[in-house]
Each structure stands twice: as C-alpha cells, then as structure tokens.
Amino acid sequence: MRFVTRRPAWQRRGDRFRHPAQMIAVGFAVAIAVGTGLLSLPWATRSGHRTGLVDALFTATSAVCVTGLVTVDTGSYWSGFGQAVILLLIQIGGLGIMTLATLFTVLLSRRLGLRARFLAQAETKSLNLGDVRGVVRRIVVFSLVSEVVVATLLTIRFATAYERPFGTALYEGVFHAISAFNNAGFSTYADSLMGYVADPWITLTVTAAVILGGLGFPVVFELARSWRHPSYWSVTTRITVTLTVALLALGTVVFTLAEYSNPGTFGPLNDPRNCWLGSSPPR
C-alpha cells in the first residue's frame, strides 16, 4: 500500500510560480515595486519632496523595461540617489532578473540546480542547459566591459572637449553608457543628446553602444566566434543581423531624404562648418 503525503497549501500555491516565464514576470514585478518604493522616498528628488505614486511607478517601470519614457526630467528632478536607483533598475532590466539570480546562485553555492538552469535558459536564450553557468558569466563580463569602454570614451570627451570637472564627466559618461548599452533611452540632460548633435565622438559612441546592446548576447557571442563564416551562423543570428542592417540602412535613407533640407532638423548640419570638433561646448 502506498501512502501519499499531502503537502501544505503554501507549498502547493508556490508551484504556480515555478515556471521560468512566471518567475521572470514575478522578478520584474518585484524589481518595479522596489524601485517605485525607493523613488518615492523624499531624498530621491532634488526638492526633498516625495514623488507621487504614478510618477514613481511609471519611472521605475520604464527603467526596468528599458523604454526610456519619462514623466519628469531625469537630470533636474531626481537627486543623485534617485538617478542611481534608475541606473540600477536599467542595469537589472538589461541583464535580466533571472541572469542576476543565477549568477548569485553560482557565487554563493557553487552549484546550479536544474530549475535554476531552466530559469537562466529562459532569460539568456541559451540552447545548452549545461553551459548556462558559462553563459551567465560571459553575459555579465561582456556587459560590464562594454559599458566601461563606452563610459571611458564618453568621459574623456566630456572632460577634454567640454571642460567638465572629472567627477561630473565620469558620472555623465557612466550614466549614458549604461543607458545606451541597455537601450534605455534615459539621459541626465533635459534635451537628451540634442546638444551633441554635431559631435560625432559622442553620437557615434552612443550609437555603437545601442546597436551592440540591441543585438543581444547570443548573437554577439556567435558573431565573435564565427564572424568570418556567415554560412555557419544560426538562423537567429542571420535574421537578427540581416534585419538590423536593413532597418538601419532604410531608416538612415528615409530620414536623410525627408529631413535633409529641414531647417529644424538636418538642414543646419549640411554645412561642414557646423560639424563641431572644437574645444568648447556647442551651446
């Protein structure tokens, strides 16, 4: 005779959240909730006043989901603490809740269970469960190295060409590097990067970071391994690279033709003398 032990109700309810997709959704929801709470604190704003629930929730959601939409100006409204919270939420959203959770599991226990591997697989889109641990490490290293490189280039430009104090240049470089690489769209400037429209050092560096981060980790890893042999690329990599190149080329052509002579957009940039490469801020 077999005896079936009935598990407690709280354990049975927990089974509903064991699917990787459910765990990821819950993880993002928790990150948004915590971010909302932190952004609602008085010291998250420059004025010292509490932010309304809607604005805090909207900003936290936008940061975690890397959409770049804001209801208040990031640079003038949020304090250093508030901006740091936004940066952290962007980084969490960019790397993925489950990627970070799996990394912590590896570092703390040195073991990676099957369930954790499935969770990491769902977030990193890794095809080999046995290689999830290595994938997570490469994702984190690749992200941090890319952001450090971009931040270094931006910091040098801000400090040397725009005569920013080093601390300010470093902060602006790090903020925009993380925002760009994670495709977040956040900026500490009220007009985003409009002030640097004619500065190729800034615009092209940010553009490269956006494209690199937008391709996705699996595609970048595969391109690094076999970029000389397109015939060996997976279907996912071929589709991603082809569509990315096609959309960038098409968008560039369309915007150029539509705005070439528009005095409010590209018109003033047609004069080579307006391509700012000097040693003082453009405005």
Residues 6+ positions from 128 with CB-CB distance below 8 Å: none
> Of 16-20, 98-102, 242-246, which one has max mean pLDDT?
242-246
pLDDT classification of 113: cutoffs 50, 70, 90: low
Rounded Cα distance, 93 and 87, in Å: 10
Read off the pLDDT of each residue in 138-148 and give the average, rounded to a whole number.
88
Read off the pLDDT of each residue in 275-283 and give the average, rounded to a whole number.
45
Beta carbons of 101 and 26 less than 8 angstroms apart: no
Residue 283: per-residue pLDDT:
41
Beta carbons of 203 and 193 less than 8 angstroms apart: yes
The answer to whether the predicted template modeling score (pTM) of the entire model surpasses 0.75 is yes
- Token readout for 79 is 């304090």
- The full length of the chain comes to 283
Residue 96: per-residue pLDDT:
76
Mean pLDDT check: name the lowest of 58-62, 127-131, 158-162, 207-211: 127-131
Q: Which amino acid is located at 46 in the chain? A: R
Residue 126, sorted as left (phi over 0), alpha (psi -120 to 50) or beta, turns out to be beta
Rounded Cα distance, 168 and 183, in Å: 22
Locate the domains of the chain by residue range: 132-283
Rounded Cα distance, 103 and 95, in Å: 11
> In this predicted model, what pLDDT tens digit does every residue of 164-220 receive, in sequence order?
999 999 999 999 999 999 999 999 999 899 889 889 999 999 999 999 988 877 788
Read off the pLDDT of each residue in 261-283 and give the average, rounded to a whole number.
64
Q: ∠104-59-85 over CA atoms, to 5°?
A: 45
% of residues, the chain, pLDDT over 70: 73
- Token readout for 8 is 């407690």
Mean pLDDT check: name the lowest of 75-84, 103-112, 138-147: 103-112
Reduced to 3 states (helix: H, G, I; strand: E, B; else coil), residue 45 is strand
Residue 170: per-residue pLDDT:
97
- Spatial CA neighbour of 120 closest among 138, 144, 141: 138
Read off the pLDDT of each residue in 123-137 and give the average, rounded to a whole number.
58
Q: Which amino acid is located at 14 in the chain? A: G
Q: ∠155-83-187 over CA atoms, to 5°?
A: 55
Residues 6+ positions from 148 with CB-CB distance below 8 Å: 177
Mean pLDDT check: name the lowest of 56-70, 189-203, 269-283: 269-283
pLDDT classification of 223: cutoffs 50, 70, 90: confident
Q: What stretches of the chain show up as alpha helix (H) in DSSP? A: 9-14, 20-39, 53-64, 74-77, 80-95, 97-109, 114-124, 132-161, 166-181, 200-215, 217-226, 235-259
Beta carbons of 216 and 146 less than 8 angstroms apart: no
